[in-house]
A and B are shown apart, each in its own frame.
Chain A
Amino acid sequence: MDPLPRKLLAITILCALWAAVVLVAFVPVEKDAVVGSYRLHSSWFLQKEARPARIDLDKDGELRVYADHGEVTLRAKWWWDAAEGFLRSDARELDRRIRGYHGWTGTTLYWRLAPSFDYGEELEMQRLDR
Chain B
Amino acid sequence: MSMEGSTTGRNGIGKVLGGIGSTPVLLAIFMITLAFNAGVRRSHDLTWPPYMDHARDASFAQSILDGHYGEDPLYTGESMWFTPMVFTLEAYAVEFTGVDLQVLQARAGAFWNLLAPIVFFLLAWRWFGSSVAVVALAAYLFVLPGQEPGWAVATYSPLFLAMNFAQGLFFLMLLVLFRAFRSVSWVVWAAVGIGAGLLFLSHAAPAILIVAMIAIHIISRAIAAWRIRDRAQAGRYLLCGVAAGATFILVSLPLIWYVVGDYMLDQKDRIPTAFTYEPLSFRHADRFLFHNVTLFVAMGIAGLFLLFRGKRSPQRTLMLMWVGLTTTLALYAYLAMELGLKYGIMMPTSVPSFHFYSYLKTAMALGVGIAVLRMLQWVVDRYHGDRSAEFKRDRLAAMTAVLVLVGTLAIYPTNANRPDLVNTRMFSMTRMADTDATDMYTILRDKLPWEAVVLCDDELSLWVVMASARKTVATNASMANPYVLPAPREAARAQLLAALERSDPEAPKVLEAYHVTHVLVRTADIDRMPELTHWFPQSIHTNGTYALYAR
Interface residues of A (CB under 8 A from B): 7, 10-11, 14, 17-18, 21-22, 24-26, 43-48, 84-86, 96, 99, 101-104, 110, 112, 117, 119-122
**Chain B stretch 287-318: residues in CB contact (< 8 A) with chain A:** 287, 289-291, 293
**Smallest beta-carbon distance B32→chain A, Å:** 11
B26 within 8 A of A: yes
Given contacts A10-B23, A85-B422, A119-B287, list 13 more A-B pairs with CB under 8 A. Answer: A17-B30, A18-B33, A21-B413, A44-B289, A84-B425, A101-B414, A104-B413, A112-B419, A117-B424, A119-B278, A121-B147, A121-B291, A122-B147
> Judging by beta carbons under 8 Å apart, are A14 and B409 in contact?
no
Instruction: Give the most central of A46, A48, A86, A121: most B CB within 10 Å.
Output: A121
What residues of chain B lie closer than 8 Å to A44, measured between beta carbons? 289, 293
What residues of chain B lie closer than 8 Å to A110, measured between beta carbons? 419
Residue on A with the closest CB to B286? Answer: A45
Query: What are 20 A-B contacts with C-beta separation under 8 Å?
Result: A10-B23, A14-B26, A18-B34, A21-B408, A21-B413, A24-B413, A25-B413, A25-B417, A45-B293, A46-B286, A46-B287, A84-B425, A101-B413, A102-B413, A103-B417, A110-B419, A112-B419, A120-B147, A121-B290, A121-B291
B412 within 8 A of A: yes
Q: A-facing mask of B9-28, CB < 8 A → 1, else 0?
A: 00000000000010100110
**Chain B stretch 20-47: residues in CB contact (< 8 A) with chain A:** 21, 23, 26-27, 30, 33-34, 37-38, 41
Known contacts A11-B26, A25-B416, A26-B416; A99 and B286 CB within 8 A of each other:
no
* Complex: A41 Cα to B413 Cα, angstroms: 19
B423 within 8 A of A: yes
**Smallest beta-carbon distance A112→chain B, Å:** 7
What residues of chain B lie closer than 8 Å to A14, measured between beta carbons? 26-27, 30
What residues of chain A lie closer than 8 Å to B412, measured between beta carbons? 21-22, 25
> Judging by beta carbons under 8 Å apart, are B422 and A46 in contact?
no
What residues of chain A lie closer than 8 Å to B416, measured between beta carbons? 22, 25-26, 101
- State the majority secondary structure of interface residues on B: helix
What residues of chain B lie closer than 8 Å to A48, measured between beta carbons? 286
* Complex: A4 Cα to B360 Cα, angstroms: 41
Residue on B with the closest CB to A20? Answer: B409
B57 within 8 A of A: no
Known contacts A10-B26, A22-B34, A25-B413; A122 and B419 CB within 8 A of each other:
yes
* Complex: A84 Cα to B423 Cα, angstroms: 10
> Judging by beta carbons under 8 Å apart, are A99 and B422 in contact?
yes
Known contacts A26-B41, A45-B286; A86 and B149 CB within 8 A of each other:
no
B100 within 8 A of A: no
> Judging by beta carbons under 8 Å apart, are A22 and B425 in contact?
no
**Smallest beta-carbon distance B400→chain A, Å:** 15
What residues of chain B lie closer than 8 Å to A43, measured between beta carbons? 290
What residues of chain B lie closer than 8 Å to A10, measured between beta carbons? 23, 26
Interface residue tally on B, bucketed by range: 35 or more
**Smallest beta-carbon distance B101→chain A, Å:** 23
What residues of chain A lie closer than 8 Å to B289, measured between beta carbons? 44-45
> Judging by beta carbons under 8 Å apart, are B413 and A45 in contact?
no
**Smallest beta-carbon distance B322→chain A, Å:** 26
Residue on A with the closest CB to B429? Answer: A84
* Complex: A80 Cα to B425 Cα, angstroms: 17
| A119 interface neighbour in B149, B293, B425, Cβ under 8 Å | B149
What residues of chain A lie closer than 8 Å to B405, measured between beta carbons? 17
**Smallest beta-carbon distance B463→chain A, Å:** 15
* Complex: A117 Cα to B150 Cα, angstroms: 13
**Chain B stretch 117-146: residues in CB contact (< 8 A) with chain A:** none
- State the majority secondary structure of interface residues on A: mixed
What residues of chain A lie closer than 8 Å to B38, measured between beta carbons? 25
B148 within 8 A of A: yes
**Smallest beta-carbon distance A21→chain B, Å:** 5
* Complex: A28 Cα to B423 Cα, angstroms: 17
B426 within 8 A of A: yes
* Complex: A17 Cα to B410 Cα, angstroms: 11
Residue on B with the closest CB to A120? Answer: B419
Residue on A with the closest CB to B146? Answer: A120
**Smallest beta-carbon distance B195→chain A, Å:** 34
* Complex: A101 Cα to B359 Cα, angstroms: 29
> Judging by beta carbons under 8 Å apart, are A21 and B409 in contact?
yes
* Complex: A26 Cα to B422 Cα, angstroms: 12
**Smallest beta-carbon distance B133→chain A, Å:** 17
Closest 6 CB pairs of A and B: A120-B419, A101-B417, A103-B413, A25-B413, A45-B290, A117-B423
B427 within 8 A of A: yes
B72 within 8 A of A: no
What residues of chain B lie closer than 8 Å to A47, measured between beta carbons? 286
* Complex: A84 Cα to B408 Cα, angstroms: 23
* Complex: A26 Cα to B42 Cα, angstroms: 11
**Smallest beta-carbon distance A71→chain B, Å:** 27
> Judging by beta carbons under 8 Å apart, are A21 and B34 in contact?
yes
B4 within 8 A of A: no
What residues of chain A lie closer than 8 Å to B408, measured between beta carbons? 21
Q: A-facing mask of B421-440, CB < 8 A → 1, else 0?
A: 01111110100000000000
What residues of chain A lie closer than 8 Å to B409, measured between beta carbons? 17, 21
> Judging by beta carbons under 8 Å apart, are B34 and A120 in contact?
no
* Complex: A46 Cα to B149 Cα, angstroms: 17
Residue on A with the closest CB to B31? Answer: A18
Known contacts A10-B26, A21-B409, A104-B410; A45 and B287 CB within 8 A of each other:
yes
B457 within 8 A of A: no
**Smallest beta-carbon distance A104→chain B, Å:** 6
B90 within 8 A of A: no
Residue on A with the closest CB to B422? Answer: A99
**Smallest beta-carbon distance A46→chain B, Å:** 5
Residue on A with the closest CB to B290? Answer: A45
* Complex: A22 Cα to B424 Cα, angstroms: 20
> Judging by beta carbons under 8 Å apart, are A120 and B425 in contact?
no
* Complex: A63 Cα to B424 Cα, angstroms: 26
* Complex: A112 Cα to B409 Cα, angstroms: 25
Residue on B with the closest CB to A99? Answer: B422
* Complex: A26 Cα to B37 Cα, angstroms: 11
**Smallest beta-carbon distance B293→chain A, Å:** 7
